[in-house]
Structure formats: structure tokens, C-alpha cells
Structure 1
Amino acid sequence: MASRSFRRAASAATAVLIVLGAAPSASAFGGPPAGHGTTLRKLAARQDLRIGTAVDTAALASDDRYRTLTARQFDSVTAENVMKWEAVEPERGVYDWAAADALVNFAQHNGQAVRGHTLLWHNQLPAWLTQGVADGSIDAAELRQVLRAHITTQMKHFRGKIYQWDVVNEVFDEDGTLRKSLWLEKLGPSYIADAFRWAHAADPQAKLFFNDYNVEGINPKSTAYYDLAVRLRREGVPVHGFGIQGHLDIGYGFPSDVQANLERFAGLGMQSAFTEVDIRMTLPADAAKLARQADDYRRLLDACLNVRRCTSFTVWGFTDKYSWVPDTFDGQGAANLMDEEYAAKPAFEAVRDELAERRRR
């Protein structure tokens, strides 16, 4: 469930600022967690796991402390918005890669890998596309060509620079039926396999993922992905991984079968990843809520560490200062590892301790 409130992509000037200001000294700011202790990325490396964060590129350009912590604590980054279709091709055939390229350059400067998000989604599409489909000026045959061109162009632009791509994002409803999107309506279910084939042809080295929310445990939705993965892989479609977003709410019970879910995808020879983890609560936060949140973060990470093919654990932003949650869920927030002042919350300590104390199987 990627961010619904689209922060506009950084301008070319801002993109330059991201790179030029990439890595100020972490000690300049002091205070936990930036100024002391072993970092999450160092601890995760001992576990053969990438620890990542989604990145707000506007904050990366303008907020020194945000930039420092992004570089210091994480060895993988995901573009929160600037690789989505409406950002990279705002006018048909006119591409704007400035902000996305700046993030890739920032990652390379800081020894970080990049997750690509996302090639195919039913949201945050450019207006020229949705309007063209709605008024009939883009028919089904042309839409298929438009989609192929988008995936191919994006994959080739970033070829060799992105280790995992969320190729197909949120294509099932909660009951396990395919989401009634414009893609399904106009192209039929074959668009899913086509997307993976086109992506693989453009960048054969990238690992290609499904990605969705409410699929942490075994339920109709995650089972629909499992069954689809079985069928597509049998047909030779290059589906390499299953992305579990991990947007949880402490108001609900924690799914008890997360590890079993990961294990069944591993049994297919697929990777898995937690791709957008945040754990929200009804505000105001208090000690009990923060303790529950910390335990939920720990339990998700523990499940990943218990399954060797779970290769990355990405939080959807690390500070409450830039969280998408308050704008989307009325009365909720405090979903991230650090508060709005960048102080470590119990959740940060839980993740750090889990990485420090565990020995991966």
C-alpha cells in the first residue's frame, strides 16, 4: 500500500542538492541513534540481510539529519514516489528521471542498493493515460503497447542499478480475486505475466517481485499470489520474489503464520522481502502502544531472519516526521522507528537488538 499522498518529484536543482549533500558527518548531529552504537546496516550485513528504507526525495534534499540517517542506518533504499509512472512520464513520451537518478546516485555514493518501486500499479498513473483510456482514445491494443513501452523504458534506464523491482503491485483483492483495475478490464489477466516477461527482457539481472499489503500471513489474498506464482513459474515466467508490504496496525492482532507464509514461497525457490513496513497506532502514543509496536516490528523481522530466502527488510520511512500515515488514516500515526525529532523509539531498539542478538539459520 504505497503512499497515496504523492509528494511531487524534486526538481533538477533539488536532485543535484541530494547528491552534493549526500553524506555529511554523522557525528555532526549527535544523540541517539545517529550518534552512537552499531548501525542497523552493519548488524544486518552480519545476517546476510539488506535493511532498507523508503526515501522521501524532497526531505533527502532539504533535511541534513534525514540525509545523514538514511545513509548511516540503511544499506538499501526505495523511492517512495519518484519511480512511479506519474512521476517519470508526466507527459506521454516525455520522461523526467532527475529525482530518481539523484536517489540512485545518492545510494551509489553511500554504498547502498536500490529497490525499484513500482512498474505496474492501478494508482499514481499519469493523467494522460487514465484520461486516454476513459475517453477511448487509447484502446486495448494501444494500452498494451503503452504498458510494454513504459516497463521496457524504465527497466533499461535503470539497468544494472536496481537489485529488486516491484513489478506488479496490488493486483488482488482481499478475497483473492483479481482487482478490477483498468489493466484487468482492458487487457485481461495476461497483463501480469506480460509485465514480468517485459521487465526481465529489459534487465535480466534484476529480481522481479509481486508486492502487496495484507499478505503477511496465510489468507485468501496471499494464497492467490502463491497459486499464481506456481502457475507462472511453471510456464517459465520470470517471477523471482514475493513482496510483503507490512503496513500493520496495533489495533489488530498480529498474524501468527508469517514465517509459514514465507516458507511456502521459499519452497517454490522464490525470494521474499518485507518491502514497506510501518506499524501505526491511534494517537496519542503511549508506553503500552509503543511497546506493542516494537514487538510487532521484532516479530516481522524475526520471521524474515528465520527464512534464508527472505533477503531484505525495508521500512516505509524511518521517521514519523515524514510519514504518510497521518494523511491517510484519520487519527493515526507514530508508525515509524524514530519519532519526529529523530529520537529512537522502542521499535528502533527492538529491530537493532533483534539484528544484534540473532544468528541467522
Structure 2
Amino acid sequence: MKITNWSHYKSYISLFIILIIGLGCVIKPDKKVNTTLKDAFEGKFYIGAALSGRHISGRDKPGMEVLKNHFNSIVAENVMKSGMIQAREGEFNFDMADKFIEIGKKNNLHIVGHTLIWHSQAPKWFFTDDEGNDVSPEVLAKRMETHIHTVVGRYKGQVKGWDVVNEAILDDGSWRKSKFYEILGEDFMKLAFQYAHEADPDAELYYNDFSMAQPGKREGVVKMVKNLQDQGVKIDGIGMQGHIGLEYPTIEEFEKSILAFSDLGVTVMITELDLSVLPSPRRDMGADVATNVEYQQSLNPYTEGLPEDVQKKFDERYLSFFKLFLDHQDKISRVTLWGINDGDSWKNGWPVRGRTDYPLLFNRDNTPKSVVNEIIQLAAQY
């Protein structure tokens, strides 16, 4: 091509350069797009999952890949409970608990210990003598001390926080009449936290319970924690078990509890999160594992998958709760799902055995549900 007009040529070159620079300003690389839950909540709060024996023993490798991709905190579903670790007095079995800890360390995960004192899965010997009678307060306190010092001491510096006591307050705010309470009274709570602090002064110490959006339980837990604080007992956080349904609890009552617990000067954690889509035999069912209801087909309506309208309610409900958590991210340190995929969930067998529930964020084949991406997009707005 023969150039006949250099001024026109220079003009074209200048226009071309301006256009390129302009496009460079407009077409900038987007900031990192989060594709995993742990990336989406980075800097906001930990996102965790409970591990079952199948995960810890290595029998569920696909589930563990989901864990590594999407979660940065772990808690043991069962293997660190007293009945599992010390089924007989003085005979400690740390095999599975050690494996759980190794998973956390190997993958640089935030590790939570669950649970030191819980009435439901405590071995019977804890409370009785050789003749089957209740032991004295002194004997029970000593057994608590030995158990807590041994377990917490073994994992000192490795477990970041402990659910020291689990489910000691009833929905009306009164104390659960467990063997711990019957023998030691309210002091069992103080002693448990004291022993845990002695064993690992740097570990965070938590109280954990279900139905925490209930006004009565909220008030009872606030009263209990204030009493501990007045006695100078170290308590760092309150775990609000998130066993929720499509209709209960209300977001408003759940939020009231987040605020009430945070006002105590402790961190709030959403623990054991799952969303049941199945009809509940009773509205006030709570999450007491001792509850059992006879199987009825009407209570197990979705054996072949969820209808579209139910799936929509499920997605909207999860999004509403995660929006609540994000709104209060300054008060919440962790959100933990109670399992990895739907097949892991205890809700398939509670309170009615043999049901098919869909309460978690990943399907039984470990594929993410559509709401996972919606949650990630929601977090990007904060």
C-alpha cells in the first residue's frame, strides 16, 4: 500500500493507540472469582464440616476431596465424645481421634474438639460405683478432671477450641436434669471449663446447644454464661446448633440470639448446621438424640428426590440464613455444616429411622447443589 498522506496516517496511528489504551482500561481482568465456599468466606468466618468415622478412616475419599476444596475447619461428629474415647474407666482409646487430628494438621485446617462433657454419650461408669449407685460429687468431679485433662492435654496446641459442655440447658431455660447436674448441681459446668482451661490455657472454650433461637433457652444460656463470667471462669464462645427446618426457627428469633450471645463479649458460632426438608412429627422437636418416632410413610415423602417447589424453598431458606450470618460476620467466627453430603446426615435417621433427607449443601454423589454457587455469589457482595 502506498502512503500518500503522512498526516492522515499519523492520525490513524494515534487513534489506534488511543483505542487500545481505552480498551485496556475497560477490559481489566476481573478480581478473583471465588469458586469454593472457603474462598468465598475468607476473612469473614471459618466454614467447617463435621467428619464421621467413614471420613476419618479413609473409606470416603470423594467426600474428603469435597472437604479439602470447600472447607477450612473440621469437627469430629462422634469420635471425640467420652463414650468413644473412654468406654471403660482408665482405658483411653485415641486411635480415631488421633487420625482426626492428623487430617486437620495435614490439611492446615482449623480443628474443633467435640465434646468433653455431654450427658447423652457419656459412659455409664462415669456416674456409678461398683454396686451401681450414684457416685459422690467428689468422685464425679475427679472423673471429669481426669478425663478432661487427659483428652485436652493430649491435643494441647493442636485443637483450637473445645465444645466443653454440650446441651445442658432445656428449651424453657432450666437446667437439664442430667447425671452431671443431679450429682454436682450447676457446679459441673464451672468445673468442666476450669479443667479444660488448666489442660490447655490457650485453647478457646465453648458452650454448645440446640434450639438456641428459643426465647427461653436464650435467656437460660445468657444467665448461665453470666454466672460463669461472674465467677471468673474462662468461656470464649457459644455454639448455636443450626438444626433448622423450612419453617422454623424464624430468622428474627435466631438473630435475637446471635445478638444476645454476642453482647456477653463472647464469639458466636453456628454449629451443626443442616436444613431438613422433611415434615417434623412435632414443631418443638428440637434436636435431642434420645427422641424416636415410629416410621410413617407420610413422614418420608421424598424418597426419589425433591420436588421443584421444595427445592426452591430449600435454596431460599439457606440463602436467608447465610445472609444473616454475613450481616453479623463481626460477631460470628465459624459456620459448620453437620456433615459433608446428604448421605452423611444424621437427619436420615432422626427422629424417624429410615427416612431420606436432603439437609446439606452437597448431594449424595458429592456434587454441589445449585445453592452453593448462590451462597458464594452472596458472600461476594459483602
TM-score tier after normalising by the smaller chain length = 0.7 to 0.9
Out of 295, 314, 328, the position equivalent to 2:336 is 314
**Amino acid of the residue matched to residue 288 of structure 1?**
D
What pairs with 1:249-288 in structure 2 (closer than 5 Å)?
A: 249-252=245-248, 254-282=250-278, 283-284=301-302, 285-288=306-309
Deviation at 1:302, TM superposition (A): 2.4
Q: Whole-Å Cα distance in 1 between the matches of residues 239 and 131 of structure 2? A: 30
Number of the residue aligned with 2:372:
348
Q: Whole-Å Cα distance in 2 between the matches of residues 199 and 272 of structure 1? A: 19
Decide whether aligned partners of structure 1 residues 345 and 109 sit closer, same or farther in structure 2, where only a CA change above 3 A counts: same
Decide whether aligned partners of structure 1 residues 69 and 134 sit closer, same or farther in structure 2, where only a CA change above 3 A counts: farther
Out of 294, 306, 314, the position equivalent to 1:293 is 314
Q: Is the counterpart of residue 228 in structure 1 residue 224 in structure 2?
A: yes
Decide whether aligned partners of structure 1 residues 203 and 250 sit closer, same or farther in structure 2, where only a CA change above 3 A counts: same
Q: Whole-Å Cα distance in 2 between the matches of residues 63 and 236 of structure 1? A: 44
Q: Whole-Å Cα distance in 2 between the matches of residues 188 and 133 of structure 1? A: 22
Q: Is the counterpart of residue 327 in structure 1 residue 349 in structure 2?
A: yes
Q: Whole-Å Cα distance in 2 between the matches of residues 276 and 126 of structure 1? A: 23
1:107-156, Cα deviation, whole Å (9 max, x unpaired): 11111111110011111112433554981173332111101111111111
What pairs with 1:118-137 in structure 2 (closer than 5 Å)?
A: 118-129=115-126, 132=129, 135-136=132-133
Q: Whole-Å Cα distance in 2 between the matches of residues 354 and 110 of structure 1? A: 26
Q: Whole-Å Cα distance in 2 between the matches of residues 137 and 121 of structure 1? A: 17
Q: Number of paired residues?
A: 321
**Amino acid of the residue matched to residue 337 of structure 2?**
V
Decide whether aligned partners of structure 1 residues 318 and 350 sit closer, same or farther in structure 2, where only a CA change above 3 A counts: farther
The answer on whether the counterparts of 1:291 and 1:346 sit within 8 Å (CA) in structure 2 is: no
Number of the residue aligned with 1:3:
none
**Amino acid of the residue matched to residue 181 of structure 2?**
L
State which drifts further: 242-251 or 77-86.
242-251
State which drifts further: 347-356 or 58-67.
347-356
The answer on whether the counterparts of 1:259 and 1:306 sit within 8 Å (CA) in structure 2 is: no
Gaps of 5+ in 1: 1-35
Q: Whole-Å Cα distance in 2 between the matches of residues 175 and 256 of structure 1? A: 19
Deviation at 1:253, TM superposition (A): 5.0
1:239 alignment partner, SS class: coil
Number of the residue aligned with 2:10:
none
What pairs with 1:147-296 in structure 2 (closer than 5 Å)?
A: 147-215=144-212, 217=213, 219-252=215-248, 254-282=250-278, 283-284=301-302, 285-296=306-317
Q: Whole-Å Cα distance in 1 between the matches of residues 77 and 126 of structure 2? A: 21
Decide whether aligned partners of structure 1 residues 173 and 40 sit closer, same or farther in structure 2, where only a CA change above 3 A counts: same
State which drifts further: 270-279 or 223-232.
223-232
Out of 58, 73, 78, the position equivalent to 2:70 is 73
Name the larger-Rg structure: 2
1:214-266, Cα deviation, whole Å (9 max, x unpaired): 10x35110111112212221221111111001001214353313233212222
Segments of 4+ in structure 1 off by > 6 A?
Answer: none
C-alpha RMSD of matched pairs (Å): 2.0
Decide whether aligned partners of structure 1 residues 312 and 253 sit closer, same or farther in structure 2, where only a CA change above 3 A counts: closer
The answer on whether the counterparts of 1:39 and 1:73 sit within 8 Å (CA) in structure 2 is: yes
Gaps of 5+ in 2: 1-32, 279-300
1:281-315, Cα deviation, whole Å (9 max, x unpaired): 12412222222222332233222222212100000
Q: Is the counterpart of residue 45 in structure 1 residue 42 in structure 2?
A: yes
Q: Whole-Å Cα distance in 2 between the matches of residues 164 and 293 of structure 1? A: 31
Q: Whole-Å Cα distance in 1 between the matches of residues 270 and 237 of structure 2? A: 11
Q: Whole-Å Cα distance in 1 between the matches of residues 236 and 79 of structure 2? A: 24
**Amino acid of the residue matched to residue 263 of structure 1?**
L
**Amino acid of the residue matched to residue 317 of structure 2?**
D
The answer on whether the counterparts of 2:37 and 2:372 sit within 8 Å (CA) in structure 1 is: no
Q: Whole-Å Cα distance in 2 between the matches of residues 352 and 332 of structure 1? A: 26
1:91 alignment partner, SS class: coil
Q: What percentage of aligned pairs have identical amino acids?
A: 26
Q: Whole-Å Cα distance in 2 between the matches of residues 341 and 133 of structure 1? A: 49
Q: Whole-Å Cα distance in 2 between the matches of residues 267 and 133 of structure 1? A: 46
Number of the residue aligned with 2:143:
146
Q: Whole-Å Cα distance in 2 between the matches of residues 175 and 134 of structure 1? A: 35
1:69-120, Cα deviation, whole Å (9 max, x unpaired): 1112110000000000011112211111111111111111111111110011
Q: Whole-Å Cα distance in 1 between the matches of residues 323 and 344 of structure 2? A: 26
Number of the residue aligned with 2:19:
none
